[in-house]
Amino acid sequence: MVREGWRAVIAQGVFRLCIGAVALVLVASCSSPVPTLVPAATPTLGASGAAQSSSSSSTSSSGLVTASGEIVPAQKADLGFAVTGLVGVVSVKVGDRVQAGQTLVQLKGQERLAADVANAQQQVAAAQQESEAAQQALVDAQRQVLDARKAITDMLDSTATALNLNQAQMNVADLQKQIEDAKRNLGYLTSPDVKYYQDQVKQAQDALTSAQENATLVDVGQLQVQLRAAQQQLATATNVYNNAKDAYAECPSCNKVWAYDRMISWDDAVRLYADATSQVQQIQTQIDQAQRGTSQSVSTAQDDLKQATDRLSFYLKGPDAIRVEQAQANVSLLQAQLDKAQSDAEKLKANSGVDPDKLKAAQDDVTTAEEAVAAAQARIVTAQARLPAAQASLAAAQAALDDLTLTAPFSGVVVSLDIGPGEVVVPGQVLLRLGDLDHLQVETTDLSEIDVQQVRLGQSADIYIEALRSTVHGKVIRIASDSTKLGGDVVYAVTLQLAQQPAGLRWGMSVKVGFNSQ
């Protein structure tokens, strides 16, 4: 529906036509020549080829602004490649609907660039791993510094120094005792006391004789008598138990029943049988232990006698050169250990319980750990410097690969396509036009710098679509900040959003816009 503004414009035109008709009648009545009709100004073509007029937008007598315009997509793009290349795959055709990010055209050579990207990714991963490893090395080195410094602190602690000195003195005493034992053993090897070993043999022989006599004197007869008596009691208890079991099977509610040779309850029968069984087992165990004990005593005495006899025979042969040499070497080794222990104890005593050699080693550990910290820090600096370069190489490789693929910047329809597989493309060449035909809007073409002052964002307007011969409503959503030239006039583009998109509306259709008063 055309609003009041359009009605005013039309009324004004009708009024002017009436005035013109009256004037013609007056002229005719005065016998004037028939006037010649002067055609309206013919539009001219500007440098761009667009139709231009000596006048742009207009303002009606009622103060309403009107302008010409055209239908354009909300989003449109002329797409091409930024690099020169050979077209490999064209994935769309004219009229196809595409989604944002969808691949449209691909150039050849992607395999090589994909390999470059993969290699750059490996370089980035390696740089990141090196950085992480360097960080961990720094943490480990710092921990080693702390541990080494703590070792020195612990070493200089008064309690620790006292313990060190005491331990050193105990080591000296222990080695002195070991040397005494080693020298005694060496003396036994070089000058054995034969009479001592003969006495050992005699004592072992006497012990064996005594064990054998004891074995023959052990009397298990009394235990055997007790065992037989216990077995008889077990037999009686078994008969009582079995009889009671049978009787209670016939009379479960009886308090007592006759079993074998007595009246008895079931609980007493069970207890009688258990006690008799336990008594037999105990006596049998005592008999087994007595017999086994005497046998073990004799066996042990025999082993002792054999060892004593072997030792006597060994020493009667004279000193064993090999064993003497081993014993002498052991004495020498222990003496060297004693000398060192005494020297260490003297050092500790002179240094208030601190071992100077261990202190020096601990200080060296601190120095080594601090050097490791410095090395780790330098390694981190190198790794961190390497990472940005690797990331830049990856970005460059990825960008080069991306340059070989033309993708849709937004969802829309392929309006034109001017390329095919195998063709060469150059930077700046337009290969494909994409438009969002689901969201069409109006853009004015001749709104003057004077009239634009009366247009505001959000202002409503009536839009007459010439090809469809229909009018729709719209509102201003954008006013250009910069101007363009139209036949020497300064004009500003104003964009309007349609309240509805009528069927048949197409990109490029001409419209007339009447901006409603505020």
14-23, 380-389, 449-458, 477-486, range with the lowest pLDDT: 14-23
**Which residue type, as a one-letter code, is found at position 498?**
L
Whole-number mean pLDDT of the chain?
82
Helix (H) or strand (E) holding 193: none
- Segment 224-241 shows an average pLDDT of 92
CATH of domain 4-74+439-515: 2.40.30.170
- Segment 481-501 shows an average pLDDT of 95
Q: What is the pLDDT of residue 131?
A: 87
Residue that the structure tokens 């969802």 belong to: 411
Residue that the structure tokens 């609907």 belong to: 97
What does 32-52 look like in DSSP terms, one character per residue?
PPPPPPPPPPPPEE-TTS-EE
Confidence of residue 160 (pLDDT cuts 50, 70, 90): low
Between vectors from CA 238 to CA 234 and to CA 240, what angle results, nearest 5°?
Answer: 115
Question: Could you say which of 3.30.70, 1.10.287, 2.60.40, 1.20.1740 is the CATH number of the domain covering 109-192+318-403?
Answer: 1.10.287
Q: Is the pLDDT of residue 463 over 80?
A: yes
**Would the CA dihedral through 115, 116, 120, 121 be positive or negative?**
negative
CA distance linking residue 365 with residue 374, whole number of Å: 14
| Cα separation values, 345 from 152, 156, 158, Å | 19, 16, 16
Q: Is the pLDDT of residue 215 over 70?
A: no
- Segment 475-491 shows an average pLDDT of 95
At residue 105, what are phi and psi to the nearest 5 degrees?
-140, 145
Number of other CB atoms surrounding residue 263 within 10 Å: 11
HEC assignment per residue over 195-244: HHHHHHHHHHHHHHHHHHHHHHHCCCHHHHHHHHHHHHHHHHHHHHHHHH
- In percent, the amount of the chain with pLDDT more than 90 equals 46
Helix (H) or strand (E) holding 72: strand 65-73
Residue that the structure tokens 């209670």 belong to: 248
Strand-strand pairing, 51-52 and 58-59 = unpaired
- Segment 155-174 shows an average pLDDT of 75
Q: What is the pLDDT of residue 219?
A: 58
**Which residue type, as a one-letter code, is found at position 447?**
L
Confidence of residue 293 (pLDDT cuts 50, 70, 90): low
210 vs 514, residue with greater confidence: 514
CB 421 within 8 A of CB 108: no
313 vs 457, residue with greater confidence: 457
CA distance linking residue 477 with residue 464, whole number of Å: 18
Report DSSP state, residue 505: -
Q: Which residues pair with 465 in a beta bridge?
A: 470, 511
Helix (H) or strand (E) holding 106: strand 103-107
pTM of the model: 0.42
CA proximity to 410, closest of 391, 438, 429, 436: 436
**Which residue type, as a one-letter code, is found at position 411?**
S
